Amino acid sequence: MQHITSPDGTRVSYDVYGAGPPLVLVHGSFNDHRTNWEFVKPFFEKQFTVYALARRGGTDATKGHTVEDESRDVSALIDSIEEPVFLLGHSYGAQVALGAAANILDRVRKLVLYEPPWPSTIRSDTLARLEELAQVGNWNELPATLFQETFSIPMQELEELRATEHWPLIVADAEASLEQLRALSRYIFSAERFHGLHVPVLLQVGTESPRDKFVTDTLAAVLPDARVEASPGQAHEGITMAPEQYAASVFRFLAPLKA
């Protein structure tokens, strides 16, 4: 694990692996910089030098931080890399990656965003239930409640996920992820802010996801160079549930890899 220092003095960690042009990964909530990409790593590391950022909340936990703080963390990592990068974010991490790309326009070659959520996606009553679960330490039910109430993940898919070795890792990240949900609920999102983002952008969605929960279509309407691609049969955890299909989508968009 390597480290950089963000503009506010926070130490931010990241892993580096693979070979090829630089690809920066920004993980979502209820995952970390390893588990979010565990199943796509074998595909990515054959094509890219991957910089997998460990967002705040894991190894570098802070309290009360904002989405903008985390975007500046990503910008600092990109600035430390010697050449322009491909940038990819999932869920909350997609909002963070989007902000980072807007911060340093000339350092991002292409941007991939998988279902960045609206701040209003986390309803106040759902957040209150999550806070209640946190107060009694019921971390196992906290992600399940969020996935069902907010992202409408089908029960069968949720049960499949809970039966995998990935679920204990999701639960382990629940406390840090709740801090991120708080940050998201405070975030003021304006699509018009990104009107000047001229890099090519791939906006990914799952066909089984509740599309209105994400800023995908609003971004597609204002970004100068964006396309939307739906992953058939997938929901919010398509990166984990269909990694080969997901990696193929990313490769199609990022090719040709050489400048």
Write out pLDDT tens, residues 246-259.
999 999 999 987 65
Instruction: Check residue 235 and give its pLDDT.
Output: 83
Please, are residues 54 and 37 in contact by the beta-carbon 8 Å criterion?
no
Instruction: Check residue 185 and give its pLDDT.
Output: 93
Please work out, in degrees rounded to the nearest 5, the angle formed at the alpha carbon of residue 24 by the alpha carbons of 18 and 29. 115
**Cβ-based neighbours of 144, under 8 Å, separated by 6 or more:** 158, 162
Query: What integer is the mean pLDDT of 146-167?
Result: 84
pTM: 0.91
Q: Residue for token digits 């990819």?
A: 88
Instruction: Check residue 155 and give its pLDDT.
Output: 86
Poorest-confidence range of 23-37, 71-85, 154-168? 154-168
Q: Is the pLDDT of residue 41 over 80?
A: yes
**What domains sit in the chain, N to C, each tagged with a CATH number?**
2-121+188-254 (3.40.50.1820)
Poorest-confidence range of 4-8, 40-44, 216-220, 226-230? 4-8
> Side-chain half-sphere of 127: how many Cα atoms within 13 Å?
16
Query: How far is it, in rounded angstroms, from Cα 232 to Cα 88?
Result: 20
Q: Is the pLDDT of residue 39 over 70?
A: yes
Query: How far is it, in rounded angstroms, from Cα 74 to Cα 96?
Result: 8
Confidence of residue 193 (pLDDT cuts 50, 70, 90): very high
How buried is residue 89: exposed, middle or buried, by Cβ count under 10 Å (0-12/13-18/19+)?
buried
Q: Is the pLDDT of residue 186 over 70?
A: yes
Confidence of residue 60 (pLDDT cuts 50, 70, 90): low
Q: Two tokens at 79?
A: 């600035």
Q: Which pLDDT tens digit goes with each residue over 200-212?
A: 999 999 998 889 9
